[in-house]
Structure 1
Amino acid sequence: MLTETVFHSENVPGADRFDYWCELMSATHLPLELRSDHAAEYLACHRVIELGAVKVWPTFYQPLHFYRTPKLIRRSDPEQFHIALPLRGVNHVESAGQTASFVPYELHFFDSSQPYHLYSTNDNGLFSGVGIDIPKALLPKQADQLLGRPMPGREGIGALFTQFLTRLVADSGSLTPTDGPRLGTVLANLACALFAQALDAEHALPSETRQRNLALRIQSFIRQNLPDPQLTPSTIAAAHHISVRYLHRVFRHEDRTVVAWIRHQRLEHAARDLTDPTQHATPIHAIAARWGFACHADFTRAFRSAYGMPPRDYRSEGRTDCSQRLPRPRA
């Protein structure tokens, strides 16, 4: 029999079920923060099937929120994609400033290196689905272009992928440990074919549409990495497998250059923190560093240029309840 980890909530005292479930999810997959309105006596069943480098986990559970936060990413990042196949219920996803909902048999995936909020629910009972954890190294390098997009699981390669996956889950008890790595390789190859098909469909779009989609992905990447003082056109271009020259071409329809867009976003976040009552005790230099300004003098100079006043004065005005008339950064 393949190596499996099995959890049935009925085997754990009601008061301990949810905490046990949270620990299991973080231990068998990756660090996650879980929340549910049903935590008092949680109902769930969870199997983890080991297929070499690939993990498959059929599961059902009561409505649940999954949070993958920047702090948890810093704690541990296995550098993997998680492919989700809802069978009963809907996955609602927030990631990179975008929201999407995925109904049964709409394959979609998450990047362990990027924050997200997933809410799984089923109005008619327990949510059920199958998850697959696959190392990024086994999938196409351009796969991140498909984040947030549904891939049909009832037609084409998606149907083959889904049929293989559900049959594997149903027959896992008759398989031996030596079958695991081979089946993992087959599943990873099917995932590659699925992603390649979806990427070909993207490449068939008009050039302007592809470029606009790329611009949106780059902007999301920038927002997620604003705290990194090493965020530059070169690192952004490398992360998206394009040249710096092409990156600037993508941004030619924006109001600002790449560098100006990064600075604008950092200043807006810093300004928001400066007027946040919960952060009045946070030193200004700490807020500046939080949003990628390695040099406090550079931050003060850029802030004054954008807002017409130094950060200290801006914070003071915010404390006098004038936030509604505080200036926004200049273009």
Structure 2
Amino acid sequence: MLDKRVFRSDDVPAADRFDYWAELLGRTHAPMELRSDHTDDFRASQRVLDLGAVTVWSATFQPLVFRRTPKLIRQSDPEAYHLSLVVRGSGAGVWRHRETQYKPYDVFINSSSLPNDVHSSGAPVTTVALEVPKALVSLPRDMARRIVGTPVSGREGMGALLARFLTQLTDDAAPYQPTDGSRLGAVLADLTTALFAHLLEAGDCLTPESHRRTLTLRIRAFIQEHLHDPHLTPASIAAAHHISTSYLHRLFRDEDATVAAWIRRQRLKAARRDLTDPALHAIPIHAIATRWGYPRATDFSRAYRAAYGTTPKDHRYQAIHGHE
């Protein structure tokens, strides 16, 4: 079963519940100022799943006001995006640039780096939340404000994909092994990236530069989803996005690698993750290579050695048996 932490307010003396809940949220999200009309006997519960760098949790609590101030951001900023599916209750988020109302099955998007006030109402409120490091989403910083607070429905489109995945995962985590955690976290990071790219592309007020960055973000998500395809090439990517190959290369000019090099890096990174996973030790190396777009074992071995300075076989053995 996945690594899980559970909190129930009934396990804490009534006088300590609210302060303990505030401390718990500060650890799973970021330090916040909390206000509630129920501080004398606060009721809440939370289940947290640790999925590598990504964190998912479900929570039920009495109405609250969450406040993230500039001072708290200066003191501690985990540099993360926060997405919550509102299952029960309602609320509103207030930022300097936007105010948004939320109802059941809306997806709430926030950033640990932006001051905000979030008001929840209902008796009680239930949410399923996702915390994703910004480094895993690759959203340009100047575009974060276009995403935060954007209304997203969890009943249709990209929002529904994310909502269903989160709901299924938190409803029943029993079928998953601890080693599945980082893989599930990677899937959620990719879904978040795809959702952000969709929202940015749908905006009708983006500058040409923003459209260019949004297209690059969408292409990166597309590549991640098709790494298994050995026929994934700059030409096929350009065709799928109705652009020329030369324009695709121009989009990646500001990246730290060419399109082909970026594809190769992502494939090798995924293969390395599988090779060093003890749960996958019985899967042949050639099968892992094929899974990540290398049908020829010699091509895979050559690329792997060039990237990591060792063969796939030696790297796997050292990772799994090196500390025995």
Identify the TM-score tier after normalising by the shorter chain.
Answer: 0.5 to 0.7
Matches within 5 A, 1:38-187: 38-122=38-122, 125-139=123-137, 140-141=139-140, 142-187=143-188
Matches within 5 A, 1:1-331: 1-122=1-122, 125-139=123-137, 140-141=139-140, 142-202=143-203, 205=204, 209-210=205-206
Question: Is there any run of 5+ residues in structure 2 with no aligned partner, and where?
Answer: 211-324
Q: Residues of 2 paired with 1:171 and 1:51: CA distance?
A: 15
User: What TM-score comes out, normalization by structure 1 length?
Assistant: 0.60
User: What TM-score comes out, normalization by structure 2 length?
Assistant: 0.61
Q: Is the 8 A contact 2:57 2:130 kept in 1?
A: yes
In the alignment, residue 26 of structure 1 is paired with which amino acid? Answer: G
Q: Residues of 1 paired with 2:168 and 2:62: CA distance?
A: 24
Q: Secondary structure at the match of 2:73?
A: helix
Q: Residues of 2 paired with 1:134 and 1:185: CA distance?
A: 10
Q: Is the 8 A contact 1:53 1:181 kept in 2?
A: yes
In the alignment, residue 92 of structure 2 is paired with which amino acid? Answer: H
In the alignment, residue 12 of structure 1 is paired with which amino acid? Answer: V
Q: Is the 8 A contact 2:60 2:127 kept in 1?
A: yes
Q: Residues of 1 paired with 2:175 and 2:128: CA distance?
A: 19
Question: Is there any run of 5+ residues in structure 1 with no aligned partner, and where?
Answer: 215-331
In the alignment, residue 32 of structure 2 is paired with which amino acid? Answer: L
In the alignment, residue 100 of structure 1 is paired with which amino acid? Answer: T
In the alignment, residue 46 of structure 2 is paired with which amino acid? Answer: H
Q: Residues of 1 paired with 2:41 and 2:72: CA distance?
A: 26
Q: Secondary structure at the match of 2:178?
A: coil
Q: Residues of 1 paired with 2:106 and 2:82: CA distance?
A: 14
Q: Is the 8 A contact 1:143 1:195 kept in 2?
A: no
Q: Deviations over 1:5-43 (max 9, x none)?
A: 211011111111111111111123211111110010001
Q: Residues of 1 paired with 2:52 and 2:145: CA distance?
A: 23
Q: Residues of 1 paired with 2:153 and 2:100: CA distance?
A: 15
Report how far residue 91 of structure 1 moved. Answer: 2.2
Q: Residues of 1 paired with 2:88 and 2:73: CA distance?
A: 29
In the alignment, residue 104 of structure 1 is paired with which amino acid? Answer: P
Structure showing greater radius of gyration is: 1
Number of aligned positions between the proteins: 205
Q: Using a 3 Å threshold, how does the CA distance of structure 1 residues 161 and 76 change in structure 2: closer, same or farther?
A: same
State the superposition RMSD in angstroms.
1.5
Which consecutive segments of 4 or more residues in structure 1 shift more than 3 A? none
- Name the structure 2 match of 1:304: none
In the alignment, residue 168 of structure 1 is paired with which amino acid? Answer: L
- Name the structure 2 match of 1:234: none
Q: Deviations over 1:292-321 (max 9, x none)?
A: xxxxxxxxxxxxxxxxxxxxxxxxxxxxxx
